[in-house]
Copies of this chain bind each other. A is one copy, B any other.
Amino acid sequence: MENDSLLGFALLGLIHQQPMSGYDLRKIFSSTAMGSFSDSPGAIYPALRRLEERGLVRGKADEAASRNRRVFHMTTDGQEAFKAWLKQPVTRDDVIRRTGDLMLRFAFMDQALGAKRAIRFLSQFAEETADYIPILKLYLESHASEMPLSGRLALECGIQEYETRLRWANASIAVYEQKRKEKK
């Protein structure tokens, strides 16, 4: 059960927002800012089948459409698995090697878990990121002399990306807190 690729969770998240067919999902990946996912049928249909086999989604023939269209909706188990995925703590390793996963989780977060959880996620993300940046900087300082110029610059790009994400996370926390005040 506790086994799913990032694509699987992306599908799950989109189906969570509203029931959809494989073709709908492909179109989202090919035409929106979620273009980092593959829209190939060889990826999507097998992934949907796996989700269905695990009982996380269920597909029903779309009777409104005349075509051979199967619309998938989420099951209760699917809801649970999805929320469990979203609730995972943000680790150092996530921040270093799975930024894409983290961003996907966050993108689905406030609809499924609410603003409070989103803020908690951002805080964890900011903390892990803030801790990691000085490590990278130290590494750069102490190894710069042995590295080729382009290697050095590539590492600097990485550091700047982390700094950008840190600023973004703090700014996003502020957005949520601003919103909270407005409500009161």
| Interface positions of A (Cβ within 8 A of B) | 32-33, 35-36, 96-97, 103-104, 106-111, 115, 118, 136, 139-140, 143, 148-151, 153-158, 160-161, 163-165, 167-168, 172, 175-176, 179
Contacts and interface: CB of A to CB of B under 8 A. Distances in A.
Given A156-B168, A164-B164, A150 B36 contact: no
B33 A148 contact: no
A149 B96 contact: no
Contact of A157 (B143, B148, B157, B168): B168
A179 B148 CA distance: 14
B35 A96 contact: yes
B136 A153 contact: no
Nearest to A169: B157
Contacts of A175: 149, 153
A124 B136 CA distance: 27
7 contacts: A32-B139, A33-B158, A103-B158, A153-B168, A157-B168, A160-B168, A161-B164
A3 to B, nearest CB: 18
Q: Which of A35, A108, A155, A168 has the most CB of B within 10 A?
A: A168
Contacts of A179: 149
A20 to B, nearest CB: 15
A107 B165 contact: no
A89 to B, nearest CB: 17
A118 B154 CA distance: 11
A13 to B, nearest CB: 10
Given A160-B164, A168-B160, A150 B110 contact: yes
